Structure 1
């Protein structure tokens, strides 16, 4: 699904919150799909993730993991910011949105989350309103939210990215124009996880 510059401008609240683009795109995709499993670009399945669709229903969603209460978010208490009819206190748990499974029936909940993001961004001065508001929206009104159970791993730390990113770029340089089934077959030969020897070579890094 191509996104134009004008659409990005609109989805990001006039460039005031970049991650609004992600949330707005989830809503658009659910107009075309019954259920959606989303992963950030630095996550990847190491086996068939399609069984995850069984975990998704009109009342059940999943996200990557629950991170607990964010220390800066109680600033929202009493400010009148709402996700739907629910007034945020800032004591709600933060769910990480690197992985998300959601049903089309909850597109309205995502829209309510999206509508609150800019106000949360301006009050907290953080990058997390997208995942915070989505987590709240998918937990209200009889909806259940849980941690995912997908065969998915990631390369989302500095050390992992330093190892994996050149390999990902090399892959798409070689196979980016190949049919999707061929890309899937070729991707099975690529290793993005690090061996002990790879970790030893990165021993001078302050963050792995």
Structure 2
């Protein structure tokens, strides 16, 4: 998929009045596997808005242009709230992430956004390569992001930080290999908001203008 006008691939679950399954039910038990997404003109390479028990596996996402990242999970656009187990496995992003003028922040190659509600559904991120990210490799944004476990992650070259924290919450990060990180590994801003990273210490911490 090349030069799409919005997300290259998106799972966007309709929500009912209770915030969960709408008339047609949530996107669930869907596997997005072995695709190549290049140069979306707007938005993400691959996005999951709500839903449950979906998998994004063995895809390549390259050259994000504006406003979004390579692979994205979020409670957004009035979708069903994320629940169950969401898996992101063995994907590669190349030159992913872009500036987002309306959010006044750059977007990471792999990012999580708790916009409509806290993001509490379990997310397992395993064996991914985030290469030549334009800004941060990882980002959490919004009210609260929890229940995210990242294992066996390779980060090679970032434009800014390894992890960009702009929400409350927590994540577990183990098996990290990282080199050529351009700025302090951890951006945590505002630093008064409590977010806990377990498994791999990332220091020093920075809060200030974006590079």
TM over 0.5: no
RCO higher in structure (CA 8 A, sep ≥6): 1
TM-score by length of 2: 0.22
Structure of larger gyration radius: 1
TM-score by length of 1: 0.22
